[in-house]
Chains A and B, each alone.
Chain A
C-alpha cells in the first residue's frame, strides 16, 4: 500500500508532498524524538503531534514513508520548508493517533 493509497483510503490531507508512491510497511506512534529515532522502522507511517523541524530530521534519518500529524497538530513554517526540501511527505488528520492507527492497521495488514 503506497502513501497515496493510504492518504485516499483514510481521507488524509497533504501538507507537503514527497514521494507519494512509497510503500508503507508499518506504523509507529510517538512524540519523543529519541524513542522514535530508536524504534521507528524504514517504511513506517509515523503518527505524531510533533510538527517541528526536528521531527523532519528524524523522519529523514529513520527513512519513514511519511509523517501524519494527528489531531491537526500544527506544522511549523520552518518544518514545512525543510520537509519540502528533503522530500518528506507530511499528512494531517483530525483523528487521534489511536483512532488512525486502528484504521491504518486494517488497510496495511
Chain B
C-alpha cells in the first residue's frame, strides 16, 4: 500500500481541533506517528507546545483518544520507563511513547533520556525538534542552530544570535549504542512512516527518533511553506536523514540520493530568525554542514 492510502486508512488519534499554530509541523508529525503506532499506545508529552495545544489535556479533558499524561519538562524518559514497566505486567505490546520538545530533550531531559537508553528500557522517545523553547516565547535551546535569533540570543549592537552550535542529540544517542536511532522530517513522508514502523518492531531497548519540525511562528516563516523548509533542510544537508542500529549507520534514501546539494541559503533565507546573517555567517554554516556530512559518510562507510 502506498503512503497516501496507508495514512488515509489509519485512525487519527488526536483531537481534530488542537491549538497548535497554522502550519505547525509538530502537530503533523505527532498525528502521523500516532496513526502508525495505532491505538495500543500510551503517550507522555511534557510541557511545551504540544502539551499546551491540549495534547496533554485541559480542564479534565484530553486532546488524544489514547491515554496521555504530562510529565515534568525534565523527566519524560524516566516517567515513561516506569509506565512501561507497569504495562509490561499487563500487555508488553503496548507502545509507550514520549513526544518531547528539543528543550525537554537536549537540555533538561537529557540525563533521564540517556539513563533510559543505557538501561535499554523499551520505550519510543521522539524529540520534536523545532530548534528552541517555542511554547514559552522562543528561548534558545541546545538544538538551536548557530546564528539564530531567539529571545535569549538577541540581535543588536552586540548580539548576533546564538553563539554556539547545534547540539547533535541523535549522534549522541547513537554513540551510546541506543537500540534504534533515526532522524526524520515530515517532508519525506515515506521515509518518515517507514522509520516509525521500524521503531514499533524494536523490542531490545530504547528507540530515539529525532524529528526536525519547522515552526512558522518561532522561525518567522509563512505557514504554507513549512514542508518546503523541511525539504530544503534535507536538500541542503542542513539536516541529515539516517538510521543507527547495532553499530551500523545507514544513510536514508532522501539524503543518499541527493545529487547536487542545494546551498544552505535555500534553507536559511527568508527565515526571520536568520535575517541578520551575512555571507561570512553562511560560510560558517556551510562549513558545519559539510563537516557533519563528511563525518556521517565515514560512519556509514560511504
Say if A and B assemble together: no
A residues near B, CB below 8 A?
Answer: none
